[in-house]
């Protein structure tokens, strides 16, 4: 899909990978719709991105997801692509992980993207096609102790994406799953909290350094253009 003049929703556009993606897609000529739970944050970000439209949405809330689609349609009259990027980590061994916290993580990392897909598929079908890019995780390519909850939700999103790709092929709707490697963002940190010098997590002994979010944004752009099924950024050793 050519990105120029297309309407693209990027969930979680206030920070990290989503922010870098929104900037890149706007630079390539798309009208980007960006979301955050925080009105001030997303309006401030939108001011710096040409033509960006800010929508406040908690991606765990079905009413917010419906409202996001409604506002986008009212503003632009179409939706050509979505980047299901909003997400949060979950850290802790399986044995003691509180089930309510597990549920919350799944609500955001799996059900949020699914609900947005369900909202936009009929619109894309009517338009004659579209693109869906789901952001998974490199943790699904390994068995890392302490991230079972997070990686299980992202693994489910991976499988869902592969099946959706097949189901939607006849409608000219492309579905891609991208697995970012460790990326230098605010992931797992409260960006509103006072800054601490915790940059060491980005370079751990024996582990390849974190990618910049702009690298992932470039891969998302590539996926929109080429319609890849799956892209992993995990370094091959
Ligand atoms: N960073 C990594 O190492 C890494 C590796 C693999 C995969 N990923 C995936 O990449 C995606 C982006 O993460 P990032 O690294 O860019 O992290 P980030 O800098 O923390 O950005 C996360 C984004 O998600 C949004 N978000 C969080 N909870 C939300 C909610 N309930 N409703 C709506 N939006 C919500 C945040 O928006 P607000 O806080 O403004 O609401 C923010 O814009 C995630 O899906 C993550 O799982 C990251």
Per-residue pLDDT of 42-76, as tens digits, reads 999 999 999 999 999 999 999 999 999 999 999 99
Cα-based distances in Å from 218 to 3, 36, 215: 13, 21, 5
| Number of domains the chain is built from | 1
**Residue carrying the six token digits 């490697």:** 181
What does the pLDDT look like over 178-222, one tens digit per residue? 999 999 999 999 988 877 655 555 556 678 999 999 999 999 999
Strand, coil or helix: 159: helix
Tell me whether residue 173 is in a domain.
yes
Tell me whether residue 15 is in a domain.
yes
Tell me whether residue 42 is in a domain.
yes
Q: Rounded to a whole number, what is the distance in angstroms from the first to the last CA of the chain?
A: 32
Any residues with CB less than 8 A from the CB of 6 and at least 6 apart, and which? Answer: 30, 31, 80, 81
Identify the H or E element spanning 133: strand 130-135
Choose one of 9, 10, 11, 12 to mutate for the ligand 1 pocket test, by most ligand atoms within 8 angstroms of C-beta.
12
* CATH of residue 150: 3.40.50.720
| Range 4-38 burial, b when 16+ CB lie within 10 A, else e | eebbbbbbbbbbbbbbbbbbbbbebebbbbbbbbe
User: Are 185 and 14 within 8 A, CB to CB?
Assistant: no
Question: Distance between CA atoms of 12 and 18, rounded to whole angstroms?
Answer: 5
Rounded to the nearest whole angstrom, what is the distance from the C-alpha of residue 188 to the centroid of ligand 1? Answer: 8
Question: Distance between CA atoms of 103 and 32, rounded to whole angstroms?
Answer: 30
Tell me whether residue 72 is in a domain.
yes
What does the pLDDT look like over 87-123, one tens digit per residue? 999 999 999 999 999 999 999 999 999 999 999 999 9
Tell me whether residue 58 is in a domain.
yes
Site residues for ligand 1, CB cut-off 6 Å: 12, 14-18, 35-38, 41, 57-60, 85-88, 108, 135, 137-138, 180, 182-183, 185-187, 213
Tell me whether residue 237 is in a domain.
no
Choose one of 57, 62, 86, 139 to mutate for the ligand 1 pocket test, by most ligand atoms within 8 angstroms of C-beta.
86
Q: Which residues are catalytic?
A: 150
80 is in which domain, residue-wise? Answer: 7-189+198-232
Tokens read off for 147: 């991230």
Tell me whether residue 216 is in a domain.
yes
Tell me whether residue 2 is in a domain.
no
């Amino acid at each position: 899909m050519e990105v120029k003049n297309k309407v693209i929703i990027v969930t979680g556009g206030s920070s990290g990978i989503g922010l870098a993606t929104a900037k890149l897609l706007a630079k390539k000529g798309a009208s980007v719709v960006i979301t955050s739970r925080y009105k001030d944050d997303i309006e401030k970000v939108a001011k710096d991105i040409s033509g960006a439209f800010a929508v406040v949405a908690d991606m765990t809330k079905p009413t917010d997801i419906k409202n996001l689609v409604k506002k986008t349609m009212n503003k632009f009259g179409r939706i050509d692509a979505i980047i299901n990027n909003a997400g949060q980590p979950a850290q802790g061994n399986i044995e003691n992980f509180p089930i309510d916290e597990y549920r919350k993580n799944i609500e955001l990392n799996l059900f949020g993207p699914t609900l947005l897909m369900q909202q936009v598929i009929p619109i894309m079908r009517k338009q004659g096609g579209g693109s869906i890019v789901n952001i998974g995780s490199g943790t699904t390519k390994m068995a890392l102790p302490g991230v079972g909850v997070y990686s299980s939700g992202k693994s489910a999103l991976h499988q869902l994406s592969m099946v959706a790709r097949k189901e939607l092929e006849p409608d000219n709707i492309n579905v891609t799953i991208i697995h970012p490697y460790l990326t230098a963002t605010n992931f797992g940190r409260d960006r509103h909290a006072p800054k601490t010098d915790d940059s060491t997590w980005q370079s751990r002994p024996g582990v390849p350094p974190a990618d910049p979010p702009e690298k992932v944004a470039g891969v998302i752009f590539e996926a929109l253009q080429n319609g890849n099924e799956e892209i992993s950024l995990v370094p091959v050793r």
